[in-house]
Structure 1
């Protein structure tokens, strides 16, 4: 199953159109703005590891926190796109499941944005959590986002491509052809990839509509995600934020949840608590 998920997702992430999509200038989401602001006081000047960097959407914001920055991705095409966009920054081809080139306890802040940790199997996801904990300094922070199994998006059925009607005949014809082409692509991907779905008691991997159903994505509840973090050796009190960047107390209906997890370490934990008091989050 792990090989099938890798094959499906890597094929999409290497598609030139998808690479070009992620390489466009995109701003941070409200959740990323909130979490980056939260961790910046403690991560300032420390080594930052930007996992699944994609086309480089998070590069400028993270390098503003620290120039000791490394972006990695398991798609060589994404790495090359980043190197072209940001020649002054460092990027490497690497897999989050085996961060062999990164020493134990050498990273102050690790980031895995855009639900990237959800593009692998369950066993590989747990392996990533352990690897991130390994490379973090004592008290180091891990910011990542994950799809929420308690959201309406998880249970939503097949969705048609978007279509905007035009009274202009040529424009309407072009849009209709595009709609038909995207519909055929979605139907084909859905038929081929849905058999690889996994529905377990504590998580699910589904053929998500992302990139016209060209991905297999992991969904988990906030409670189960916090349990995974604790089992991997992180502090059990990971903070969570919804898509609007507001703190989550118990649960959320939002499709995506962003978390701040901390590797145990007394000195850095105290510094983070002091920084949190100095920069409180509204909610």
Structure 2
């Protein structure tokens, strides 16, 4: 199942149209603005790891926090797009499940934006959490977003492509042809990829409408996501924000949730002295 999910998602992430889409100069979402502002005081001047950097949407915002920046992606095409857009920044081809080139405890802030952590299997998702925890400094922070299983989006059925009517004959014809092409693409992808869905008690991996049903995406509740983080070695009760950038505590109906997880401070063998300290997240 893991190989199938990888094959489906990586094929989409290497599609030239998808690469061009992510390479556009998109701004930050309200949730990203809120969480980046929240962690900036601690991450200032420290090493930043931008995982699943895509076309580089988060590059400028994170480099404004620290010049010690590294962006990685498992799509060579995305890495090349970033190198063309930001020649002064460092980008590498790497897989978040095995970041062997990044030393233990060497990163002050790790970011995995745009629900990128949801494009792998359940076992691989847990592996990513452990890898991020490994590369973070004691007290280091991990900002990432995830699809919310308690949102209406999770149970929504097949969605037709958008269509905007025009009274101009030529424009209407072009839009109609595009609509028909996208509809056929959605039906084909849905038929091919839906059999790979996983519905477990704690999570689900569904054939999401993203990129015309060309992706398999992971959905989880806030409570279960916090448990996964704690089991991977992060502090309990990670901060969470909804799509509007507002803090949430117990639950949300928003399609996506952004979290800030902290790696605990390290202690000496006697458990009495802090080896490495970090300032609390600014409130």
The TM tier, using the shorter chain, reads over 0.9
Asked if the contact 2:30/2:245 (under 8 Å) is kept, the reply is: yes
What's the CA shift for 1:249? 1.6
What do residues 42-78 of structure 1 show as CA deviations (whole Å, max 9, x unaligned)? Answer: 0000000000000000000000000000000000000
Asked if the contact 2:138/2:278 (under 8 Å) is kept, the reply is: no
Q: Provide the rounded CA distance (Å) in 1 between the counterparts of 2:252 and 2:258.
A: 11
- The Cα RMSD (Å) is 1.0
2:82 matched residue in structure 1: 82
SS in 1 for 2:280: helix
Aligned residue-pair number? 275
Listed as ranges, the matches of 1:241-280 within 5 Å are: 241-265=241-265, 271-273=279-281, 275-276=282-283
Normalization by structure 1: what TM-score? 0.96
2:59 matched residue in structure 1: 59
What do residues 122-150 of structure 1 show as CA deviations (whole Å, max 9, x unaligned)? Answer: 00000000000000000000000000000
1:128 matched residue in structure 2: 128
SS in 2 for 1:65: coil
Q: Provide the rounded CA distance (Å) in 2 between the counterparts of 1:111 and 1:154.
A: 24
1:175 matched residue in structure 2: 175
What's the CA shift for 1:270? 5.7
Ranges in structure 2 where 5+ consecutive residues have no aligned partner: 267-273
Q: Which runs of 4+ in 1 moved over 4 A?
A: 266-270
Structure 1 or 2: larger helix share? 1
What do residues 138-187 of structure 1 show as CA deviations (whole Å, max 9, x unaligned)? Answer: 00000000000000000000000000001111111110000000000000
Normalization by structure 2: what TM-score? 0.96
SS in 2 for 1:145: strand
Q: Provide the rounded CA distance (Å) in 2 between the counterparts of 1:250 and 1:7.
A: 35
- Structure 2 residue 50 is the aligned partner of structure 1 residue 50: yes
Q: Provide the rounded CA distance (Å) in 1 between the counterparts of 2:249 and 2:242.
A: 10
Q: 1:214 to 1:269 in 2, by over 3 A?
A: farther
What's the CA shift for 1:271? 1.0
Asked if the contact 2:79/2:91 (under 8 Å) is kept, the reply is: yes
Asked if the contact 2:14/2:77 (under 8 Å) is kept, the reply is: yes
Q: Provide the rounded CA distance (Å) in 1 between the counterparts of 2:278 and 2:213.
A: 44
Q: Provide the rounded CA distance (Å) in 2 between the counterparts of 1:148 and 1:112.
A: 16
Q: Provide the rounded CA distance (Å) in 2 between the counterparts of 1:269 and 1:18.
A: 41
Asked if the contact 2:140/2:278 (under 8 Å) is kept, the reply is: no
What's the CA shift for 1:237? 2.1
- Structure 2 residue 142 is the aligned partner of structure 1 residue 152: no
SS in 1 for 2:205: strand
What do residues 216-248 of structure 1 show as CA deviations (whole Å, max 9, x unaligned)? Answer: 000000000000000000000200000000000
SS in 2 for 1:78: helix
Q: Provide the rounded CA distance (Å) in 2 between the counterparts of 1:167 and 1:38.
A: 48
- Structure 2 residue 172 is the aligned partner of structure 1 residue 200: no
Q: Provide the rounded CA distance (Å) in 1 between the counterparts of 2:87 and 2:12.
A: 25
Q: Provide the rounded CA distance (Å) in 2 between the counterparts of 1:136 and 1:237.
A: 18
What's the CA shift for 1:269? 6.7
